[in-house]
Amino acid sequence: MRVSLRVNGTEAEADCWEGESLLWALREQLGYPGSKNACEQGECGSCSVLFDGVLVCSCLVLAAQADGHEVTTIEGLADGDRLHPVQEAFLETGAVQCGFCTPGLVVAAAYLLERSPEPSDEEIREALSGNLCRCTGYEKIFAAVRLAARSQVGREGRG
């Protein structure tokens, strides 16, 4: 079936079979391999994308469900070479090791900060608890989210 959607602001079309996930369509058909597949059942968050602005596991969304909808992937967060504050903060705090979880965590963290610009430590932990990381023990990821929150607040403060 033909599926038409917008990915990172660009119109896209894919020829999908009925059982195909949005993740598969993004990675294998539409040229957005940034979202990762690590569990196929919504447990690890590596495939996190924004679906009409809401955080979802793209492995749990059928490609067909995305017809007529808007998807933002990890590839859509930076503005060319200008990184999203969460991306900058991940680099700065050492929150990236193997990096396989990073795209999903960056999307989830950006989504958190959009809704809650100054999250408490508990909020950060809960918001990221659907994203598994096996390398870092999360400590530096929390540091990255706090740093990104500060840099965003600072930016807004400067007007």
Local structure of residue 26 (DSSP, 8 states)? I
Closer to other proteins by CB, 5 or 23: give it. 23
Q: What angle do CA 100, 35, 24 make, to 5 degrees?
A: 125
- Interatomic CA distance for residues 52 and 79, integer angstroms: 19
**Position among 66, 73, 119, 149 found at the interface with other proteins (CB under 8 A):** 73
| 58: three-class secondary structure by DSSP | coil
Q: How far is the CB of 63 from other proteins (least distance, A)?
A: 13
Closer to other proteins by CB, 17 or 68: give it. 17
Q: How far is the CB of 125 from other proteins (least distance, A)?
A: 5
**CA distances (Å), 109 to each of 22, 55, 56, 68, 105, in order?**
21, 10, 13, 26, 6
- Assess 53 for contact with other proteins (CB under 8 A): no
Cβ atoms within 10 Å of 121's Cβ, excluding its own: 10
Sequence-distant (≥ 6) Cβ neighbours of residue 126 within 8 angstroms: none
- Assess 40 for contact with other proteins (CB under 8 A): yes
**Position among 55, 112, 131, 149 found at the interface with other proteins (CB under 8 A):** 131
Binding site for other proteins (CB under 8 A): 17, 19, 27, 32-41, 43-44, 46, 73-75, 77-79, 82-85, 87-94, 96-103, 106, 122, 124-126, 128-142, 147, 151-152, 155
